[in-house]
Amino acid sequence: MQAPPRGKRAPKRPSKPDVPPPSRFVPLAIGLGIGMMLLITVTALRRKPAPAPARSADPASESPQQRSERLARACEAARTMLWTGGAWGAMPLEGFTVRLWLAPSGGKMVTHPVIEAASQNNKLGADVDEKLAAVNDGSVTVVRYEPRGEVEIAFSEGYARLFFELDGRQRFLGLAERIARETSADGAALYAGCSHLDTRDVGAWFRGSDAKEAAAAMVHVMGLPGGVRTPKHVPAAKDLATIQAAMATIDDATILEIVRDDGARTVTTEGVAIMYPYSAPVRAAQSSTKIAEKAGLKR
């Protein structure tokens, strides 16, 4: 084989084409992937209809029916917590009605300036209590039951919310005591329940000239509660006179022992008052059942 002529370079052998290392393609692939994802997302958003605006939570925008349904749901939820031992105090206690019940006095229906003014104005005046009078979103109604001779004063909305505050509860107790004492009613009771249900869940105060009369007021108003699964008032007897007669079979000491065991505080001067603590809202209903059973009253 001949050597190439002197002075000339040998022809250069063809080399392999330059190929970039694989690592150079990684950023390019990531960039292309992100771009495709953005393109798909933008296209999908353009095609997707705009979401409907959320319903306003402003109570002012509710219809009367919507508001009524919301309050009913709230009260039933709170009622469930009351009867199951949950933290009911942390819930918005709405949808309740507070009632002050007054028995006749010597067989005659009682009357009082506060009752008459509330019947006409549907609210309490400043001469009754300044804080109660300051409630501007509450309503007071008076129901007279003929021929039974019983009177019931119902406090709703803002009044009921105030009842579930410690200071407000004391003001209601003071008002109830004043009216019961000044009318000489043969029994009185202060309790609360859901406005849309015939329930007697929260028993606060019961009064009479003696323990038997106070117990009769309790059993007449609270009855034999069916509990959370039976949201209905179950009367212990057809009328107040039957309950009062049944209470004569129990001595005062037994009545006071039952209610005190359930956490009630009793005042035995100028009559007998039985008061249940704010923290034990359904104890009065439990005492009512025990006393009714002791007196032989059944459902």
The yes-or-no verdict on residue 52 having pLDDT over 90 is no
The reported pTM is 0.78
pLDDT at position 58, please?
A: 57
3-state secondary structure of 297: coil
> CB-based burial of residue 272 (10 Å sphere; 0-12 exposed, 13-18 middle, 19+ buried)?
buried
If pLDDT is split at 50, 70 and 90, which confidence band does 279 have? confident
Radius of gyration of the chain (CA): 37
What digits encode the pLDDT tens for the residues 140-179? 999 999 999 999 999 999 999 999 999 999 999 999 999 9
The yes-or-no verdict on residue 53 having pLDDT over 90 is no
pLDDT at position 207, please?
A: 98
Cα–Cα distance, 290 to 259 (Å, whole number): 9
Average pLDDT, stretch 245-255? 96
Cα–Cα distance, 130 to 111 (Å, whole number): 22
Sorted by where each begins, the domain ranges of the chain are 95-294
pLDDT at position 19, please?
A: 47
Cβ-proximal residues to 70 (8 Å cutoff; 6+ apart), any chain? 62
Average pLDDT, stretch 113-136? 94
pLDDT at position 173, please?
A: 97
Residues 129, 132, 135: CA angle, nearest 5 degrees: 145
pLDDT at position 83, please?
A: 87
Average pLDDT, stretch 36-56? 43
Q: Is the peptide bond between 14 and the residue preceding it cis, with omega within 30 degrees of 0?
A: no
3-state secondary structure of 230: coil
Decide which of 109 and 34 is more confident.
Answer: 109
Q: Which two tokens stand for residue 110?
A: 């009682």
CB 224 within 8 A of CB 292: yes
3-state secondary structure of 82: helix
Cα–Cα distance, 219 to 164 (Å, whole number): 22
pLDDT at position 65, please?
A: 92
